[in-house]
Amino acid sequence: MSRHLLPQPGLGTYRLKEQAVIDSVTSALDLGYRHLDSAQMYGNEAAVGKAVRQSGIAREELFITTKIWWDQLEPAALTASLEQSLDAFGLEQVDLALIHWPSPNDEVPMADYLGALDACRQRGLTRHIGVSNFTIAQIDQALALPGGEHLVTNQIEVHPFLANRALVEHCQAKGLEVTAYMPLAVGRVMEDAVLKRIAEHHAVTPAQIALAWVAARDIIVIPSSTKPEHQKANLEALEIRLSDAEIAEIDGLDRGERIADPDFAPTWDQ
């Protein structure tokens, strides 16, 4: 494992179901990935668990994340949700359990669901706890609550068109790792002229440049891919070293283009 608590990179599994996710996880593990990111809402925990068992890789070598959906945040429901996830995976413990989204309009008090999440950690249902899609204000609120001192990450949308700079830097300053979902902006990075030009200079793809840029900011990336050649390319992207000038050019692509913005999302920082 790297100096990060979460292995770099992870494999995202959003939208992948049944055999598609089994194949994706199997090829990723064969290539050396050890961090798998799932969620109860994805409906693929059982398939991910099957792929893990079939891999023959020792459990302690893997880092498995799941997330608890926003309608399961009442303490009893949260605990039951995580127990259901463990049953689906066929595991006694996940490595990281996240609050998938903060409770809309604070319908469930944050103290209640973070307390319940930390109680799950104390019971051994998860090694670590964290949050996802929390704003700067919500991070500060969470860290000040009992159990908040055990939070290890905020998983948020980060890609060249949504640098999310204020939130990223705030989390890192508070000692939280940042995990970036949708780091390829669901494929949109492939069409960008700046990324294409920098990619040509390095003899790689625009997707690899985007991942290299996110990783250069000390952020964990969890791209999703079903093709072994793309998974391999995503691993190799972490070896790319961008110049200061190239990083500055990519920084200039930030236009606040948010892809994940459901009606229950919090009021974003930008």
- Known active-site residue 14: no
What CATH number should be reported for the domain holding residue 45?
3.20.20.100
Distance from C-alpha of 133 to C-alpha of 154, rounded to nearest angstrom: 7
Whether 41 is covered by a domain: the verdict is yes
Distance from C-alpha of 270 to C-alpha of 255, rounded to nearest angstrom: 10
At position 52, the amino acid (one-letter code) is V
Task: Give the chain's residues under pLDDT 50.
Answer: 1-2
Whether 118 is covered by a domain: the verdict is yes
In this prediction, residue 2 carries a pLDDT of 44
Q: Residue 32 sits in which domain range?
A: 11-186
Cβ contacts of 176 within 8 Å, gap of 6 or more: 130, 139, 151, 152, 153, 154
Whether 158 is covered by a domain: the verdict is yes
In this prediction, residue 4 carries a pLDDT of 87
How many independent structural domains does the chain possess?
1
In this prediction, residue 165 carries a pLDDT of 98
Closest CA to 178 of 195, 164, 197: 164
Whether 154 is covered by a domain: the verdict is yes
Whether 249 is covered by a domain: the verdict is no
pLDDT of 196-213, one tens digit each? 999 999 999 999 999 999
In this prediction, residue 1 carries a pLDDT of 32
Host H or E run for residue 200:
helix 193-202
Q: Which of 33, 42, 113, 181 is catalytic?
A: 42
Nearest-Å Rg of the Cα atoms of the chain is 18
CB 69 within 8 A of CB 81: yes
Whether 98 is covered by a domain: the verdict is yes
Whether 153 is covered by a domain: the verdict is yes
Mean pLDDT for the chain overall: 97
Whether 174 is covered by a domain: the verdict is yes
pLDDT of 116-173, one tens digit each? 999 999 999 999 999 999 999 999 999 999 999 999 999 999 999 999 999 999 999 9
